[in-house]
């Protein structure tokens, strides 16, 4: 009973039940909104919130700027798709194999570059991502294995096959990505509150000082890139199953990597909720621009993104998470005692 009482105490605090309300709203969203268009937009919003959260582990917490995270998305998408199309292995398992491969590539990039400071890693990520994308774009087949080249691959259609990660109704995908996002947030939360998080922050702020205190900088940076790569690759498999079609410029392109960077920086790097806030504020803007402005004004949303990013860096170095948090706690304070 005492435990329950404590739990009730926790719930009655405004800053907690407001948050729970928002989470509940997210879970109940498909029950209220029947329009497939809005469901699709929300899936993309959450997809980017998740991707950016993964980016945040590496680039926010560990401070290693990645501009090639799309390479992990591509590895995830292609691995699960190829395994499914050729061996019939369900993407539910294939996505973990993709994740493992992504970790391998991540370590391959991180190992040499983490010795160096500054921009080396950032540039290496671009080079690796672009290099791999070019390879996939220019390879029709490896031996008998068809990997589609620039035209990409379609996932064999099965209509409704839950065990093969295929659903006719988009709502299933909504819940999958929503749960994935919360898994990603939980991992970030655990990092934020654990020793690893403090190590990573120490490395980000001053690597020499961290090293002097006995923190193996490279080891923890490699851990960060492994986590980031693994979870990003899961999103790649998700994207393949959602769209049932993948092409290298779509899942592996530089624009996808830059999108993660923009959302993460604007939202607030190195914070738990920053990436989610960034995605929830900005991805709808992009989708609306795409729908209502259309292709006549290409790049309109990126002009907005780019200017917001410049403004955020100059005036809100911790991202828009900071003012939003202030508003949130201000609201909670008004609703009642903080307890």
Q: Which is nearer to other proteins, 314 or 327 (CB)?
A: 314
Binds other proteins (CB under 8 A): choice among 158, 281, 302, 324: 302
Q: Identify which of residues 22 and 116 has a Cβ nearer to other proteins in the complex.
A: 116
Is 202 among the residues that bind other proteins (CB under 8 A)?
Answer: no
89 binds other proteins (CB under 8 A): no
Q: Is 294 in the site for other proteins (CB under 8 A)?
A: no
What is the residue-wise DSSP string for 154-201?
EPPP-SSBGGGTB-SSHHHHHHHHHHHHHHHHHHHHHHHHSHHHHHHH
Single residue of 86, 138, 194, 291 touching other proteins by CB under 8 A: 138
Contact between 180 and 238 under an 8 Å Cβ cutoff? The reply is yes
Does position 292 bind other proteins by CB under 8 A?
no
The binder of other proteins chosen from 24, 25, 135, 161 (CB under 8 A)? 135
Q: How far is CA 117 from CA 112, 217, 218, 262, in A?
A: 11, 11, 11, 22
Count of residues engaged in binding other proteins, rule: CB under 8 A: 42
Query: Which one of 44, 61, 62, 63 is in contact with other proteins (CB under 8 A)?
Result: 63
Q: Using the rule CB under 8 A, is 12 a contact of other proteins?
A: no
Q: Do 113 and 186 meet the contact criterion of CB atoms below 8 Å apart?
A: no
If one asks whether residue 324 binds other proteins (CB under 8 A), the answer comes out as no
336 is a contact residue toward other proteins (CB under 8 A):
no
Query: What 3-state class would DSSP assign to 144?
Result: coil
From the list 27, 25, 34, 42, the residue with the least C-alpha distance to 287 is 42
CA distances from 322 to 187, 278, 309, 317, 319 (A): 21, 11, 15, 9, 6
Is residue 288 near other proteins by the rule CB under 8 A? no
CB atoms within 10 A of CB 111: 13
Instruction: Give 168 or 310: the residue with its C-beta nearer to other proteins.
Output: 310
CA distances from 77 to 88, 92, 170 (A): 15, 12, 18
d(CA 295, CA 280): 23
**Helix (H) or strand (E) segment spanning residue 14:** helix 14-32
What are the two backbone dihedrals, phi and then psi, of residue 116, each rounded to the nearest 5 degrees?
-100, 160
Q: Does 71 bind other proteins (CB under 8 A)?
A: no
Considering the rule CB under 8 A, would residue 70 count as an interface residue with other proteins? no
* Interacting residue with other proteins among 297, 333, 336, 338 (CB under 8 A): 297
Q: Which is nearer to other proteins, 127 or 335 (CB)?
A: 127
* Contact pattern for other proteins over residues 240 through 269, marking x by CB under 8 A: --------------x---x--xx--x----
Q: Which stretch binds other proteins (CB under 8 A): 7-15, 31-39, 131-139, 281-289?
A: 131-139
Is 219 among the residues that bind other proteins (CB under 8 A)? Answer: no
- How far apart CA 126 and CA 67 sit, in angstroms, is 6
Instruction: Tell me the C-alpha distance between 198 and 186, whole Å.
Output: 16
> DSSP letter at 60?
I
Q: Is 69 helix (H, G, I), strand (E, B) or coil?
A: coil
- 209 part of the interface to other proteins, by CB under 8 A: no
Binding residues (CB under 8 A) for other proteins: these are 63, 65, 67, 112-113, 115-120, 122-124, 126-128, 130-131, 134-135, 137-138, 254, 258, 261-262, 265, 297-300, 302-303, 305-307, 309-310, 313-314, 317
């Amino acid at each position: 009973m005492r435990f329950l009482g404590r739990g009730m105490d926790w719930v009655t605090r405004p800053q907690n039940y407001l948050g729970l309300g928002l989470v509940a709203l997210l879970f109940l969203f498909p029950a209220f909104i029947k329009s497939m268009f809005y469901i699709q937009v929300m899936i993309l919003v959450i997809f980017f919130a998740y991707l950016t959260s993964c980016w945040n582990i590496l680039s926010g917490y560990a401070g290693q700027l990645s501009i090639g995270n799309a390479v992990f998305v591509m590895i995830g998408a292609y691995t699960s798709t190829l395994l499914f199309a050729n061996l019939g292995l369900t993407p539910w398992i294939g996505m973990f194999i993709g994740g493992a491969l992504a970790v391998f590539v991540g370590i391959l990039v991180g190992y040499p570059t983490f010795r160096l400071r500054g921009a080396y890693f950032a540039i290496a990520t671009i080079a690796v991502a672009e290099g791999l994308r070019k390879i996939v774009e220019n390879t029709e087949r490896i031996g008998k294995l068809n990997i589609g080249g620039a035209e990409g691959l379609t996932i064999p259609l099965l209509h409704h096959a839950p065990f093969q990660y295929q659903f006719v109704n988009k709502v299933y995908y909504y819940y999958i990505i929503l749960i994935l996002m919360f898994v990603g947030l939980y991992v970030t939360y655990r990092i934020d509150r654990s020793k690893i998080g403090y190590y990573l922050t120490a490395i980000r702020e001053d690597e020499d000082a961290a090293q002097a205190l006995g923190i193996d900088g490279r080891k923890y940076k490699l851990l960060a890139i492994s986590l980031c790569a693994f979870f990003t690759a899961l999103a790649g498999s998700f994207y393949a199953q959602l769209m049932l079609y993948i092409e290298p410029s779509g899942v592996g392109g530089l624009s996808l990597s830059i999108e993660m960077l923009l959302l993460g920086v604007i939202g607030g790097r190195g914070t738990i909720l920053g990436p989610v806030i960034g995605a929830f504020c900005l991805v709808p803007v992009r989708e609306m621009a795409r729908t209502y402005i259309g292709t006549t004004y290409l790049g309109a949303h990126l002009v907005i993104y780019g200017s917001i990013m410049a403004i955020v860096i100059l005036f809100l170095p911790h991202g828009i998470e900071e003012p939003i948090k202030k508003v949130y706690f201000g609201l909670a304070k008004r609703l009642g005692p903080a307890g």
